[in-house]
Amino acid sequence: MKNRELALAFISALLFSAVAATFSVSAAENFWTTKAPMNTTRVGAGVATVDGIIYVKGGSQRHFASDNEFFYVTINSTEAYNPVADTWTEKASMPTSRGDFGTAVYQNKIYCIGGKTLWKIDVNVTNVNEVYDTERDSWETKTPMPTGRYGIEANVVDGKIYLIGGWIQSESSSNIEKSDRVDIYDPVTDTWDAGSPIPTAVAGYASAVMDGKIYMISGVASGSTITNLTQIYDPKTDKWSLGIPIPMGVGSAAAGATTGTKAAKAIYVIGGSNATYPLSGQYTNQVYFPETNSWSVAASMPVDRTGLSVTVVNDTLYAIGGGHNIFTMDSAVVMLYTPFTSSSAGTEPFPIVPVVIAVLSFVAVVVVGAGLLYRKKHKNIQQKTK
């Protein structure tokens, strides 16, 4: 009887270890945590990472003219976040207050290009090009972009900075229109060039670089329609192609790419507003795996966000600022996302339930077998004693 109890205890320990190991593997990826908030609330800010430090610049803030009336004003505040210490530090302010501009890093300097300035209902599109030196904590003005645009992203490929699409001031009227322009900036020569126009002009899109190509994902296309297009630009050939459409089209979302070093190679498109709720943010976290050329859905954000910014540090993603909807869009929230470790994880989640069932079935078989053997042995002993 004692041996049987020991066997059952051993089996129970094995079962507990298997279940614990299963849950720990699942919890090691695809989850969110909340970090220290920014000192300043903002939406449409520029975010970039240099030497493991996250720099947040500009954006817009909500102000109340009365209890029932509010407006947005662009700011030039700059602050830096240390992920290790989970602390924020104020830095030299950006010379031009603006939001919805392109941000890119080249040789440890952060380039902030284009954007818009806001004061109540006045919207002014800018083409300003200002660069921040992280070592000196100082700003310098460079040659402006050929055309002022906002709702744009900036991406670096082979030492050049690419600014694509966005909203542009109409030459024939005071209207704001979407642009198909591709402006290419050389930070070494401080000069501009042009690339082949994007096939479908979009603004408020999400973008990231993967394998030397620029992925332009979703955004606002014709009118106020949110598209689910994935448009891919190859700077080497100056040609465009179409990728797999994103499952749910979003505007004012943000994207970040993981390299495959500490996480699976992937592009994450986080938050934004969709066609059903154009004024409200979403919790969604959509992920593209280039190795399988497929989209999947990752763990949702703890809070819904649109107009947020995303940056990547050591293959983890930080979602910063943004807001619930157009009426409450300036927040200081910072969320850390730990991504999938393999490309198969997103499409084939680790089978926790099947594994537990299999283990339980195995234990049941062992226990029943042990019971039968015990009964047989006990019966034999009784027969011998008769």
For 25-70, the pLDDT digits (tens) are: 445 899 999 999 999 999 999 999 999 999 999 999 999 888 778 8
What distances in angstroms separate CA 58 from CA 48, 65, 113, 236, one per listed residue? Answer: 12, 22, 12, 32
Q: Residue 59 in contact with residue 7, Cβ under 8 Å?
A: no
Alpha carbon distance 241, 289 (integer Å): 17
For 268-281, the pLDDT digits (tens) are: 999 999 999 888 99
DSSP string covering 23-43: HHHHHTSSEEEE-PPPSS-BB
Tell me the pLDDT band of 343, cut-offs 50, 70 and 90.
confident
Indicate the class that CATH gives domain 33-340: mainly beta
Q: What residues pair up with 178 in beta bridges, in sequence order?
A: 167
Closest by Cα among 17, 58, 67 to 40 = 58
Domain ranges of the chain: 2-25+351-385, 33-340
- Pairing relationship of beta strands 206-210 and 109-113 according to DSSP bridges: unpaired
Q: Residue 145 in contact with residue 167, Cβ under 8 Å?
A: no
Rounded to the nearest integer, the mean pLDDT of the chain is 86
DSSP string covering 253-273: -EEEEE-SSSS-SEEEEE--B
For 65-107, the pLDDT digits (tens) are: 887 788 999 999 999 999 999 999 999 999 999 999 999 999 9
Q: What is the mean pLDDT of residues 206-218?
A: 98
Question: Does the model's pTM come out above 0.95?
Answer: no
Closest by Cα among 301, 304, 303, 298 to 277 = 304
DSSP symbol at 135: T
pLDDT for res 172: 66
The more confidently predicted of residues 116 and 6 is: 116
For 312-338, the pLDDT digits (tens) are: 999 999 999 999 987 888 999 999 999
What own/partner pairs with CB < 8 Å and gap ≥ 24 does 356-364 have? Answer: 356/18, 356/19, 356/22, 359/14, 359/15, 359/18, 359/19, 360/15, 363/11, 363/12, 363/14, 363/15
